[in-house]
Structure 1
Amino acid sequence: MNSNAFFQVNHLRNYFLNTNQIDNDYTKISTIDQYWNWLENSFISNIRAQQWYNGDTPKNLSGFINDKSNRLIGRAIMRQLRIKSNLCQTQIVLKCNEDYSFFNEEKNSYKPGWINQTTQYSNSSIDQAFMYQTGDKFDQYMYVGDLETYSSGGYIYEYQGRLLHLQSNLSELHRLSWIDSQTRAVIIQLTLYNPNVVLFTSVTFLVEFLSTGSLIPQYRFEPLTFQVFTSTFQLVCSIMYMLFIIYYMIKEIKTVIKMKSSYFYRFWSYIDVGIIGCSWGILGVYIWRYQKSTDIGNRFQETNGYTFINLQIATYINDILTCLFGFCCFFGTLKFLRLCRFHQRLSLFTETLQHAKKDLFSFMIMFFFIFMAFLTLFYLLFMDKIWSCSTLLHTAQMLFEMMLMKFDAYELTNAAPILGPICFSLFFLFVVFICMTMFITIVSDSFRIVRKNTKVNYNEDQAIFEFMLHKFQRWIGWRKLYDVESFEQSYEQLRGKYSDPVEHFPNKIDQLLNALNRLYISQQNSTKSENQ
């Protein structure tokens, strides 16, 4: 992972969004006029390198954006998705524009101004912006927004030419009402490369146009690198890791053959399968990403950067790789709990969960019904008043945040002065106070019972674990030599105590014979003294 990823994303976020400006703040866009204002006065000037602060021309910065650090890979495009106009069910208005779907998407081509096409198409950017194009030409894919999933096609305007030419084209598109009441999404995509940190960034700006008339702006900055191995050491470690995974997989296959169906009744079996599956998945995604990066490089070399280079599929691949990395590290870290099972106090964790699993399962069923009851209550009461309750998913997220004491009580009070505080109080009473108290009580009682029933006997496995721990502490200098020697002596005494009695049988016989000899000699001495 690249350590400069956050700084790259933070810079581009501040550079494009303009959150400190009142007029050109992308995150506060709510009307079509505000969106055009951001396009014409902020975005268009940011994607072309302009003069330096002292008036000097930007030499050797062809293709760079105005921050002078990131270069455009190919061109930027702006894609619009529209819907068909339908007749309204009421007689008040003749035509209605519904929400976007794959079935009512507009796919016809028009002349500038959305006039029905009757002549041959020209090659200008303005004419092409009113022509429907499939996703194959610009290597487009479906895009998932907050409200809808949008197809790969659309009406595309390609940002090409100098700054003055781009500004005049945007002004012309604005005059021709390229964005109107039938528009449901506008997606701006561009790919940047920062040679200073060897980092690509896929930039996407999505504005969803609702049928209610409001706009929802969204953005995404995805940094990614196509370098598979940054050093020889990393390559060697990766090869050793995969060799270990092969050995580990063979070992698990033998275990499955030996244990058969009982193998899948163990909890740690799924952890082992997860490590193996994620490791091979990471290898496959590495190969997939390498092939995709090769295709992108070849396309850029063939077109010399005079076309749009889409990193959307590469971003999806990178997301899959990140998820596999996360789960692989998660499962691998959990494996260390098996090493700690020899320690008496650390093993209380797993024993407590095993003892409380039936009670916790019953508690989870009860908690599920209570939580679903409050979920439907908050959703039905506040779905049209609070953004956090606009959907079931958002409502569930808000309730979980309330359980973590992260809530806005004024929001509920403003939405409903009477029902808001009542629902809020009931949720805290039943879920936070009662349910959470029951959960803590179940775990604490199980821990108390397990600790009480745990034997204090010092078994050999625990002795081996502590012996290894003390040796490691001595190696790193945390424990003195005489502490280790005293521990080894106590360990030898313990081992002698719990070792096989047959090994010490001859010694015990010798001790018995010596005791009998001493008893016989003492009896003879006493008999002689009585005779005298």
Structure 2
Amino acid sequence: MSKIKLTFCIEIEDNFQSKEGGIVQLNTKLIIHTLGLKIEIHNTLRNTILTLIEKIISVLFQLNMLLLCIFSLCYSNKDLNSFRYQQNLKNILGGAKSLENVTKIEHIYDWIKDRFLISLYSGTKENLMADRTTYLLGFPIVRQLRVNKQICYGLELRSFCYEDYDVLKQDKESYGLKWSVNKSLDLEMKNYSDYSDSFLYKTSSQLETYPYFGKYKSYFGGGFTFDLKNRIKSLDQLRSDIENLQILRWIDYQTRAVFIELSVYNVNLNLFAYCTILFEILPTGNFISTMRIEPVILYETNETSKYLVIAVNVLYLVFIAFFMLKEIRRMYKLGLGNYLTQIWNYVEWTIFAFSWAAFSIFLYRQYAKDDLFGKIKAKDQLVRLQLLSYWNDVLGMLFGFLSLFGTLKFLKLLRSNRTIWMFICTIRASLHDLISFSFLFFTVFLAFVQLIHLIEHHNSKEFSTLVGSFETMFGMILSKLPRNIYFGHNTFNKIVISILFYLVIVFVMVNILITILTDNFNMVRKESKKGADSSILYAFLKEKAKMIKKIIWTFFKRSESDTDVLSLQEANVETFGQIDQDISKIENLIYKNKINDQIF
């Protein structure tokens, strides 16, 4: 095909009107002269471009302000000293290593007497713990949960058996001393009458306790308690109380969990903390001991930061209300059916829901804080931070997801970049294949999990439970093998299973996944090269920015007349129709709202 060399000239005609304060430009007309033809293009295209750029800048500013508010709220509810504070409290309370030595019921009594009670006393009259910086709020309690007696089946070696903990099997009856049913023993043991209250069941509302997730089981609130009132009693008196409880067999074969709970406050860090030491007694006779410290921030250290946090909260709610109204208008404009087909709309409403949930928790925390401070001032009151610590954890998770989704919103704008746009299109094109592949993958993976679990559940800790087997096998995909996987019983079987697992899952399944993504990426890359309709906003804006820069430069060059002819350049083009075609494509791309639909 022969090429035609054309010479063309572009004339820019501006109309101005004088007003107070300067000259105002009303409109611009672009005139192209070539082959004896005169083509006029008014400033509609340029104004549309400028409007689009202004809209993008406005959305970017709004999004940046929203993220600034989210990050301010998130990090104002965190303290960098939380981890060190937890470690300090664990060391004061005896540390995790001391709990590993608890393997009998008698060891629980010994640990409380020799390790825990010592940490409650600092040698001063103030209610300070051993580090002399942590204040004890209220008093600690020792709480236990019990199961009912069950008739033994099988070999009748004893009258009753004690099964695993379950809410339906939990013992909620009240007893006399030594768990006597008729309480006649109380009259014979008058010296221990002060401990009769520890054999009475109390509900979760009376104790202000809530469900707790242990390492082995989940436990409900309520139970049988003994109060360690260290303000009233000395260290020796409390030790004597623990010894008397041991004589009364307060912890016995029916006990399935023993909690030691206390609330503390560090005035130097302005941090509260809820501490839980849990001894889980399994039907097998094993003991699982854990210690959990949950820091809680309840109020700001000074008035300035307090008002700043309130101002950020108000500003954030204003932004959320603004974006909600914007989305409602957009939903009404597009229609509910079309609106629900766009995945980014779900992200928007997730942000709205999490934001209002976080605001509700924030209001509850303000109410609970006032009630807590009233109990602290009253002294010798039961001070519980368990519920507050739970809601604080939920609030932290909400803020975490808000930060995640708020940051991901940048992809909605940045997908005008070619690389990000191709990534999103690749995932979209691969979605159907990925869903089908996921069913195949998890079916085969679950088959291997059940195989190794049923063979090794009694020999290996990693495969003793179905969930543990699932986690271990998934780690094996990442080459994280258990240390003792090829030792002990059934070594040959485990080697064969491991080889089959790596052949099927790693070499076959993972390569299928890579092939799906690669094929769809190549398809998207080919489609992106076909025409202007598949192009993205980044290149478009780059070209229009150059045009605007040239217009501004031309405006300053013209100083004497309102209309000048600017000879720009000689261009080599195949036909003049190519120029008109490019302009038409850009106009169609704008007027059909393809760019606006992609971004906004």
C-alpha contact (below 8 Å) 1:342/1:465 kept by paired residues: no
TM-score (norm 1): 0.81
Question: Following superposition of structure 1 onto structure 2, how do residues 86-485 of structure 1 map, counting pairs within 5 Å?
Answer: 86-90=150-154, 91-116=156-181, 117-118=183-184, 125-160=194-229, 161-227=233-299, 230-259=305-334, 260-301=336-377, 303-304=378-379, 306-455=380-529, 461-463=537-539, 466=542
- Asked if structure 2 preserves the Cα contact closer than 8 Å seen for 1:413 and 1:420, the reply is no
3-state secondary structure, aligned to 2:206: coil
Contact kept, 8 Å, 1:388 with 1:394, in 2: the verdict is yes
Distance verdict in 2 for CA 1:153–1:123, change over 3 Å: farther
**Larger strand proportion of the pair:** 2
1:295 is displaced (CA, Å) by: 1.7
Distance in structure 2 (CA, Å) of the matches to 1:88 and 1:31:
23
**Structure 2 letter corresponding to 1:330:** L
8 A Cα contact 2:418 2:536, kept in partner = no
Q: Aligned residue for 1:36?
A: 109
* SS in structure 2 of the partner of residue 200 of structure 1: strand
Change in Cα spacing, 1:122 to 1:272, as seen in structure 2 (3 Å) is farther
Q: Which moved more, 1:442-451 or 1:265-274?
A: 442-451
Instruction: Check whether the contact 1:48–1:66 (CA below 8 A) recurs between aligned residues.
Output: yes
Q: Which AA in structure 1 matches 2:99? A: Y
Shift of 1:18: 2.8
Q: What SS does the corresponding residue of 1:171 show, helix, strand or coil? A: helix
List per-residue Cα deviations over 1:348-399 (Å, max 9, x = no partner).
Answer: 1101112212221221111011111112112211222222223222221222
**Structure 1, 122-131 or 387-396: larger mean CA deviation:** 122-131
Q: Distance in 2 between matches of 1:144 and 1:363?
A: 35
Over the residues paired in the alignment, what is the CA RMSD in angstroms? 3.0
Q: Does 1:18 align with 2:95?
A: yes
Residue 466 of structure 1: CA displacement? Answer: 4.8
- 1:17/1:27 contact within 8 Å kept: no
> What displacement does 1:502 show?
13
Structure with bigger RCO (C-alpha 8 Å, 6+ apart): 2
Shift of 1:176: 2.5
1:9 aligns with 2:73: no
User: Which stretch shows the higher mean deviation, 70-79 or 165-174?
Assistant: 165-174
Question: Contact 2:92–2:130 (CA<8 Å) still a contact in 1?
Answer: no
Cα 1:62–1:440 change in 2 (3 A) is same
Give, in angstroms, the shift of residue 243 of structure 1.
0.8
Counterpart amino acid of residue 291 in structure 1 = Y
Which amino acid is the alignment partner of residue 362 of structure 1? S
1:457, distance to aligned residue in structure 2 (A): 6.6
Q: TM-score, normalised by structure 2?
A: 0.73
Matched-pair contact (CA < 8 Å) for 2:146–2:171: yes
The letter for the 2-side match of 1:79 is: R
Gaps of 5+ in 1: 51-57, 471-480, 486-491, 504-532
Deviates more, 1:245-254 or 1:104-113: 104-113
Unmatched 5+ stretches in structure 2: 1-77, 554-567, 572-578, 588-600
Q: Please give the per-residue CA displacement for 1:265-296, whole angstroms capped at 9, x wherever unaligned.
A: 11111111111111111111101111122221
Aligned residues: 470
**Rounded Cα–Cα distance in structure 2 between residues aligned with 1:179 and 1:36:** 9
The answer to whether the 8 Å contact 1:135/1:152 transfers is yes
- Aligned AA for 2:493? L
Distance 1:78 1:354 in 2: 55
**Counterpart code for 2:276:** T
Deviation readout 1:230-277 (Å, 9 max, x if unpaired): 344333332222111111000111122222212111111111111111
CA–CA separation in structure 2 for the residues paired with 1:416 and 1:39: 43
CA contact (8 A) 2:475 2:481 kept: yes
Partner of residue 82 from structure 1, selected from 141, 146, 154: 146
